[in-house]
């Protein structure tokens, strides 16, 4: 090969990063300068730090698509090995597998659907990691003060829950400590086929400005909420858990400001990842405003960011994925976007679904979004558990 052809090949090669379509003006960072990020847990495992570095690096090329419970259940199936509504539509698994692990912590006898759910969650977390996917977990914890289950009318009936958790030696404090023991045991037991403890993005006490939860604005003061967050983080580190990336994810369902986002902020030393739970319907203006705000705060704090929950319940828009997701997300420097769950409902009587599935009218729009080079699904991912170039993590 002569020099001129070789140089042309080298010049064109970076443009061929993805074969999934034309590049929609992704603003790649070409500076090559090393950036240093700081994690909450300085003793985080090498794989956890590597994942964190990639959460920052991937935002320069696009964003990862994720789906809550994608490997656990879909509209017409439940607990099937290899199952995925996402894969059934586009041929690939999502890049981010999200789930709820509160059922391992709070002693409930059954999960939302079935007592088989916990073993399936263990299996799918391992499967996701072994495929190279990213795992993210939230915690819809029961009320440790009155024993009310998640969704119970008494779930957030008391403004003393956090106060009692934080009261050393109280009955609620001792109970909650056992829940932290359970979470630590779970984290340590989740090991991939390579023998490595699996890193997880953990979203504790999410949507904290809302009133629906016992850790929310109707039940806790700002000081109590911050202390509760720190109690969990410090408790995990003290218990020897070094595989968590701690994500804050307030609800931003209307147009928000920077002060709205940082309301009840646990502190820069206690948050790794900056998320938003963003249920804005089909309102692109609100979504764009909140994405721009999150990008600004994320870059100011040098913490990766993303949309940790989104969706429209029982949506029917045929162009939803191209018009309401891919277009607003383009070039926003987000690490991910995660849609909420598709509940199992083979007869279609339950309309609780937020993502695509076979037969949904948005299938083609989803496949168009999948084909874009700025969307990352499982097979598009680099090795997320090897340190990214030009990113240092302390």
Q: Where are the domains of the chain?
A: 3-393
Q: What's the CATH superfamily of 3-393?
A: Glycosidases (3.20.20.80)
pLDDT score of 13? 35
Write the pLDDT tens digit of every residue in 39-80: 999 999 999 999 999 999 999 999 999 999 999 999 999 999
Angle at 198 between CA 192 and CA 199, to 5 degrees: 155
pLDDT score of 25? 37
Low-confidence ranges of the chain (pLDDT < 70): 1-31, 109-115
Q: To 10 degrees, what angle do helices 171-189 and 222-238 make?
A: 50
Which residues on adjacent β-strands are paired with residue 336? 64
pLDDT score of 28? 41
Tokens of 192: 């991939």
Tokens of 343: 């509940």
pLDDT score of 140? 94
- Across the chain, the runs of DSSP E, i.e. the strands, are 35-37, 63-68, 96-100, 134-138, 200-203, 244-248, 273-278, 305-310, 336-339, 375-376, 391-393
pTM of the prediction? Answer: 0.92
Write the pLDDT tens digit of every residue in 262-298: 999 999 999 999 999 999 999 999 999 999 999 999 9
pLDDT score of 392? 97
pLDDT score of 152? 79
End-to-end CA distance of the chain: 44
Tell me the C-alpha to C-alpha distance, in Å, between residue 186 and each of 5, 23, 240. 55, 41, 12
pLDDT score of 4? 35
Angle at 38 between CA 37 and CA 40, to 5 degrees: 145
The answer for residues whose C-beta is within 8 angstroms of residue 222's C-beta and 6 or more apart is 263, 264
Taking Cα atoms as reference points, which of 137, 140, 141, 150 lies closest to residue 99? 137
pLDDT score of 11? 38
pLDDT score of 46? 98
């Amino acid at each position: 090969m002569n020099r001129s052809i070789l140089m042309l090949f080298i010049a064109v090669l970076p443009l061929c990063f993805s074969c999934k379509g034309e590049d929609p003006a992704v603003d790649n960072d070409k500076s090559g300068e090393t950036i240093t990020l700081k994690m909450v847990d300085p003793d985080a495992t090498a794989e956890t730090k590597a994942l964190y570095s990639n959460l920052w690096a991937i935002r320069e090329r696009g964003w990862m698509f994720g789906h809550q419970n994608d490997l656990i259940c879909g509209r017409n199936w439940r607990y099937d090995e290899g199952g995925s509504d996402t894969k059934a539509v586009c041929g690939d698994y999502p890049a981010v597998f999200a789930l709820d692990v509160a059922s391992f912590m709070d002693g409930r006898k059954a999960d939302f659907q079935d007592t088989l759910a916990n073993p399936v969650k263990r299996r799918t977390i391992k499967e996701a990691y072994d495929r190279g996917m990213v795992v993210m977990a939230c915690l819809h914890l029961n009320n440790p003060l009155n024993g009310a289950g998640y969704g119970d009318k008494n779930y957030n009936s008391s403004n003393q829950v956090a106060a009692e958790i934080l009261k050393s030696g109280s009955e609620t404090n001792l109970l909650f400590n056992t829940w932290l023991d359970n979470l630590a045991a779970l984290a340590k037991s989740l090991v991939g086929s390579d023998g490595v403890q699996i890193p997880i993005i953990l979203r504790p006490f999410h949507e904290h400005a809302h009133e629906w939860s016992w850790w929310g604005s109707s039940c806790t003061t700002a000081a109590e909420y911050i202390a509760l967050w720190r109690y969990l983080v410090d408790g995990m580190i003290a218990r020897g858990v070094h595989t968590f990336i701690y994500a804050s994810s307030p609800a931003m369902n209307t147009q928000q400001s920077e002060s709205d986002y940082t309301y009840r902020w646990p502190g820069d030393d206690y948050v790794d990842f900056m998320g938003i739970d963003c249920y804005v319907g089909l309102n692109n203006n609100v979504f764009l405003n909140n994405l721009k705000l999150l990008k600004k705060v994320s870059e100011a704090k040098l913490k990766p960011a993303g949309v940790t929950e989104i969706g429209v319940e029982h949506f029917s828009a045929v162009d939803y994925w191209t018009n309401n997701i891919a277009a607003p997300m383009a070039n926003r420097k987000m690490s991910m976007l995660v849609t909420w769950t598709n509940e199992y409902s083979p007869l279609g009587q339950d309309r609780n679904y937020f993502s695509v599935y076979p037969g949904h009218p948005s299938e083609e729009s989803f496949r168009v979004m999948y084909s874009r080079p700025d969307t990352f699904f499982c097979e598009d991912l680099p090795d997320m558990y090897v340190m990214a170039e030009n990113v240092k993590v302390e």
